[in-house]
Structure 1
Amino acid sequence: MSQPATPPQPDDLHRDLSQPQAPADVAMSPNGEAIVIQAPPPSDARGPGVPARVPHIGHAILFVALTFLLLMIAQVSLLGLAHPVADPHRTGVAAAHPKLLIAAEAVSYVLTLAASWLFFPLLWQRSFSNGIQWNFATARRNAFKLIPIGLLIGFIVQALSSLIPVPKSIPMDDFFRTSSDVWVVAAFGTLLAPMFEEIAFRGFLFPAFAIAYDWLCLPRTPAAHEHWRNTTNLTLASIIFSAILSSIFFALIHGQQLGHTWIAVFVLFCVSLVLTAVRVRTRSVASSALVHASYNLSVFLTMFIATGGFRHLERLAR
């Protein structure tokens, strides 16, 4: 005679059968009773923890727009504080003063990073540093390799630049008129500027261009879309494309400072490719920032030695 079936439990009667149930593995205990083991949800299931492709192109545009907006506000505010008198000539001269320009950039950079640190985690559902792959631990662990790489690249570029014909006067020269100006530029160019530029170009633009490339090349099939939603991997083609495109923007941004000397701009394009390679290889924007800072440091170190501690800037004249 068969045993009566186990009566349904109250919880079973009230269970919403419309909800999908997790798969289960069934095993038998030594005494013959069934043991039901609920399987964990798959790693690509929707919900908290689902991988997201960030920063995408919309995030990058938002970051760049915020930077320019805050830069304009900082320049107008500092200019108003420095020269409240409504004199167009004096205002124009003050606006071009190196210390004022550097101060405006520094303020806008700090405010942009602070706003981004607070705002983007709301969109990404993860911390700002995690979203841009800052990964400071990797940079700290490999600092003894990264710093010499940056210094070496800087010295090589300076050696090559000495062979490049450059106009007698370029906009960058305006930042090296006085010793105090050079100290300000050196501090800004070694500490804050490399970090911000790496976050902008390697933290935002590089992944944004790569994600956009992969999306445009994605086959329009349900399987491809499902794979896109459940993964974050970038293709090699997208990495190469994004490295080239972001490096073009990086070089062009600095082109105005070099008087649009295209050979010098091309050298900066190559430097940007190296920085991107460091970022991709280490999966750390902090690592590329450390190389970038070391590269800039080599330039100011050479200048410091050549001018006797920034006291004889006339030696920089070409």
Structure 2
Amino acid sequence: MNQLQENEFEKFTRFDDAMPLAPGREKPDVINPDNPHWNSFTALAMWVFSLFLMGVIVYVSIIVYAFFGGISMSEIGEMARVNDVNLIVVNIAAMLPVHLATILVTWLLVSRFGKQPFFETMGWDFGSIKYSFYSYLLIYSGVAVALLVVGNLIALPFGKPENELERILQSSRAALYITAFLATFTAPLVEEVIYRGIMFPAFQRSFGTIPAVGFVTFLFTLIHVPQYYPSVGVILVICVLSLTLTIIRAVTKNLLPSFVVHTVFNGIQAVLLVASPYISSLEATESGFFHF
């Protein structure tokens, strides 16, 4: 790897090294992403709190929408029952502040309120074997593409029963665009930090690698079931995705590789969804596997 490539690689993977230490901030001599300062109980509590945070912010967003729209809560209930387009957009748009708030809370935990470098603690690196940045990007993008191909093969025998995510995507172009944005630019970061950045290393230390991989895979799949039920094939694909991402995290001992795979996996589908009205052959892509 030449000097220019090395510098470019370092800029992408070493955010914390480029940031000055805040007053009172101490950088530990050795930071090991597999040996975090939080325990399994704290990791599980963070997962539960992230779900609680999502519920609160979405509910508050609906109340604000109802207040400024002069809509009663009983009318909101009826709008939800008939899948009102505007209410769907409000629900989806509320996920952006949910993701931002979740990242803030996880930053407070991981960085000890700014006293420890966040990205380094998470394992924001590609691992001990140093290739060029573009080589890593090509390798992990290839993994994402392979997952998409395998996912379609897994889902094929189960058909395409309509699920909640499909109803959201088909409700309006606004809902589709917002979903595509979230699935590409915020959801992968939030989910990787929660599941494989915070939960996995804590569970691995407490219970071992294999149980930790299984537990994280199960929780990640479980939280996405409401989006995809009754599409059993798609739920199986999400399970395979989670298992693959968690194994990548376990093997590389870093979070960045699974984040790249996750982002490319969602991003490819987002591009296809946005382009589908303009390319007739892509009409079938509206039953994607991405999530937010």
Q: Report the TM-score when normalising by structure 2.
A: 0.72
Cα 1:196–1:181 shift into 2, 3 Å = same
Matched, 1:174 2:167: yes
Structure 1 position 190, deviation (Å) = 1.0
Summarize the Cα distance change of 1:114–1:211 in structure 2 as closer, same or farther, 3 Å threshold.
same
What letter is aligned with 2:221?
A: A
Check whether the contact 1:171–1:259 (CA below 8 A) recurs between aligned residues.
yes
The aligned counterpart of 1:235 is none
Question: Can you give the 5+ residue segments of structure 2 that lack an aligned partner in the other structure?
Answer: 1-27, 288-292
Question: Shift of the alpha carbon at 1:110?
Answer: 0.6
Which whole-Å CA distance do the structure 2 matches of 1:125 and 1:266 have between them?
40
- The equivalent position to 1:60 in structure 2, one of 20, 43, 51, is 43
1:62 counterpart letter in structure 2: A
- 1:121 is displaced (CA, Å) by 2.3
Task: Report how far residue 316 of structure 1 moved.
Answer: 5.0
> Would the alpha carbon gap of residues 249 and 315 (structure 1) be closer, same or farther in structure 2, given more than 3 Å must change?
closer
Displacement of 1:284: 2.1
Deviation of the 1:291 alpha carbon:
0.3
Q: Distance in 1 between matches of 2:251 and 2:261?
A: 13
Equivalent residue runs for 1:193-208 within 5 Å:
193-208=187-202
Match of 1:165 among 144, 159, 167: 159
* Structure 1 stretches lacking a partner, 5+ long: 1-47, 214-237
Alignment-derived partner of residue 79 in structure 1: 62
Larger relative helix fraction: 2
Q: CA RMSD in A?
A: 3.2
- From 169, 183, 186, the equivalent of 1:189 is 183
Structure 1 residue 282: Cα displacement: 2.5
The corresponding residue for 1:240 is 210
> 1:88 is matched with which residue: 73, 93, 100?
73
Contact kept? 1:166, 1:261, Cα under 8 Å: yes
1:3-82 counterparts in 2 under 5 A?
Answer: 49=29, 53-54=35-36, 55-82=38-65
* 1:151 counterpart = 2:145: yes
Question: Match for 1:103 among 78, 93, 117?
Answer: 93
| Whole-Å separation in 2 of the counterparts to 1:120 and 1:275 | 20
Matched, 1:128 2:126: no
Structure 2 residue 106 is matched with structure 1 residue 116: yes
1:69, distance to aligned residue in structure 2 (A): 3.3
TM-superposition CA deviations, 1:115-167 (whole Å, max 9, x none): 32234322896322233223379898211211222123123312432332342
User: What one-letter code is carried by the residue in structure 2 that aligns with 1:90?
Assistant: E
Native 8 Å contact 2:155 2:236 kept in 1: no
Relative distance call for 1:135 and 1:315 in structure 2 (3 A) is closer
- Residue 245 of structure 2 is aligned to residue 252 of structure 1: no
Distance 2:198 2:131 in 1: 18
Q: Judging changes above 3 Å, is the alpha-carbon distance between structure 1 residues 198 and 314 closer, same or farther for their aligned structure 2 residues?
A: closer
Residues 316 and 190 of structure 1, relative CA distance in 2, 3 Å threshold:
closer
In 2: Cα distance, 1:315 partner to 1:126 partner: 42
Is residue 106–residue 194 contact of structure 2 (8 Å, CA) maintained in 1? no
The residue type equivalent to 1:58 in the other structure is F
State the one-letter code of the partner of 2:174.
S
Misfit runs of 4+, over 6 Å: 136-140, 312-315
Q: Is the 8 A contact 2:111 2:118 kept in 1?
A: yes
The CA deviation at 1:180 is: 2.0
